[in-house]
């Protein structure tokens, strides 16, 4: 078993910057990985829509640092923070640094429990959503945090959060809306995906994640696959295939290093059949923004030929929604607005001082947010070693993950 990199290596500034879509798209590259598309040129209409969406997210943050929709303050805060950090801002620089810092403070000071849960069972409905999204968000913040004391606090918080996720996993390998103990071992697909991507983000930031947790999650997804290639709702309630969960599950398998098992092509074909036309009208399946936050990550990994025409259709729809103010006027949650802003950020668009940065061997700008998954995110997870050598992290699987 290869050891995880030491935290002194992994957490120094600009050394542990994960691909944000671990997210939400946080994929370590390997020879078996699908070819990624290149970043697109900036489109003024898309840039304007992103700016409008981000500005709306920023101005709706509460004075305490959170966002909420119904009973999901932790999940909404993590999603909104992820959208803002995907813009290129950090806790110390950029137009949304103040909002990001307040988000971090809210999650770590108000929502972090002694047992590692990021959330509050008393105020967070289905608290595993918020826990998974928070791991993803905070793991991205960690890579850019310069204050040593603050970094140590984040390391401790994320280490405990990963431990909580491992303990909350059901015997079947999935996660439910609450921990296995609290939920009588109930599990379902959407919360399972949030845990896998949150753990991927933490692993990329140097936090140790037991390989057996990820292996069990992969087996859970395989078990929930139906003959048509789609993923069912739960291991305990198989039922018909769900396009949204299938797209999210496929993105999660990529996060876990599974690019070519026998299940992946079947799941991809199911997604293309049901989602590639953007599934509007009677075929929308509900949860549209959630669905395409994940499916766009999947399509991006297929390469330029498939990504570019799909991207143009996706962006056109998101731009139209934001231009018409459909998201806030329709009363949709900040989470949906955050998802839309995140999904639109696959263009190579960075902070002004980072434009024109030199590029690595993968064509990604070093030190800037660039197109990866669906998100404008940082270079592939890697560590800078002496003499300029760059070593990509291995996929998240048992042979490459430090155990505790």
* Residue 225, strand partner residues: 231
Residue in the structure block whose two tokens are 């809306």: 177
Is the pLDDT at 375 greater than 70? The verdict is: no
| Dihedral over alpha carbons 163, 150, 367, 303 (to 10 degrees) | 20
Q: What is the mean pLDDT of residues 366-376?
A: 26
Residue 325 pLDDT? 60
Three-state DSSP class for residue 20:
coil
What sign for the dihedral angle of Cα 288, 255, 205, 119? Answer: positive
Residue 278 pLDDT? 86
* 120-129, 247-256, 295-304, 314-323, range with the lowest pLDDT: 314-323
Q: What is the tens place of the pLDDT at every residue in 312-360?
A: 888 888 888 776 665 543 333 444 445 555 555 543 333 222 222 223 3
Residue 342 pLDDT? 56
Per 3-state DSSP, the chain is made up of helix, strand and coil in percentages (nearest 5) of 50, 5, 45
Query: Where is mean pLDDT largest: 131-145, 294-308, 333-347, 382-396?
Result: 131-145
What sign for the dihedral angle of Cα 159, 162, 168, 172? Answer: negative
Contact 189, 142 (CB under 8 A): no
Higher-confidence residue: 130 or 334?
130
- For residue 295, give both structure tokens: 């499916």
Taken in order of first residue, the domains within the chain and their CATH numbers are: 7-400 (1.50.10.20)
Q: What is the tens place of the pLDDT at every residue in 284-299?
A: 566 788 888 889 889 9
Q: What is the tens place of the pLDDT at every residue in 76-123?
A: 999 999 989 888 889 989 999 999 999 999 999 999 999 999 999 998
Residue 27 CB neighbour total at 10 angstroms: 31
- For residue 234, give both structure tokens: 């739960």
Contact 103, 97 (CB under 8 A): no
Give the pTM.
0.76
Q: What is the mean pLDDT of residues 203-207?
A: 92
Q: What is the tens place of the pLDDT at every residue in 274-283?
A: 999 886 654 5
Shortest CA distance to 142 belongs to which of 273, 13, 51?
13
* Residue 120, strand partner residues: none
Count how many residues are written for the chain. 404
């Amino acid at each position: 078993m290869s050891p995880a990199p030491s935290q002194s290596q992994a957490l120094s500034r600009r050394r542990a910057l994960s691909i944000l879509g671990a997210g939400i798209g946080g994929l370590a590259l390997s020879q078996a990985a699908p070819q990624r598309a290149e970043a697109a040129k900036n489109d003024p209409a898309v840039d304007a829509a992103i700016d409008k969406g981000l500005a709306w997210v920023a101005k709706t943050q509460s004075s305490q640092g959170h966002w909420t929709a119904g009973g999901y303050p932790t999940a909404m805060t993590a999603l909104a923070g992820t959208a803002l950090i995907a813009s290129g801002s950090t806790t110390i620089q950029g137009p949304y640094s103040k909002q990001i810092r307040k988000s971090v403070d809210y999650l770590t000071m108000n929502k972090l429990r002694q047992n590692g849960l990021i959330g509050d069972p008393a105020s967070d409905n289905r608290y595993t959503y918020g826990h998974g999204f928070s791991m993803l968000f905070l793991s991205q913040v960690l890579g850019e945090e310069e204050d040593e004391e603050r970094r140590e606090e984040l390391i401790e918080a994320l280490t405990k959060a990963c431990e909580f996720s491992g303990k909350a996993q059901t015997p079947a390998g999935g996660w439910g809306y609450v921990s296995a103990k609290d939920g009588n071992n109930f599990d379902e697909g959407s919360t399972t995906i949030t845990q896998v991507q949150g753990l991927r983000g933490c692993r990329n930031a140097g936090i140790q994640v037991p390989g057996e947790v990820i292996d069990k999650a992969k087996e859970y997804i395989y078990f929930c696959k139906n003959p048509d290639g789609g993923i069912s709702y739960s291991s305990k309630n198989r039922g018909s295939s769900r396009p949204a969960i299938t797209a999210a599950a496929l993105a999660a398998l990529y996060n876990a290093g599974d690019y070519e098992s026998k299940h992946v092509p079947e799941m991809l074909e199911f997604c293309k059949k049901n989602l590639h036309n953007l599934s509007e009208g009677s075929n929308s399946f509900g949860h549209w923004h959630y669905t395409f936050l994940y499916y766009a990550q999947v399509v991006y990994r297929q390469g330029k030929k498939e990504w570019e025409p799909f991207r143009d259709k996706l962006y056109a729809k998101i731009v139209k929604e934001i231009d018409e103010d459909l998201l806030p006027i329709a009363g949709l949650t900040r989470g949906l607005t955050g998802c839309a802003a995140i999904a639109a950020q696959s263009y190579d668009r960075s902070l002004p001082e980072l434009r024109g940065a030199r590029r690595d061997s993968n064509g990604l700008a070093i030190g800037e947010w660039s197109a990866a998954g669906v998100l404008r995110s940082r270079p592939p997870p890697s560590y800078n070693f002496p003499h300029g050598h760059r070593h990509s992290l291995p996929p998240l699987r048992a042979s490459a993950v430090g155990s505790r």
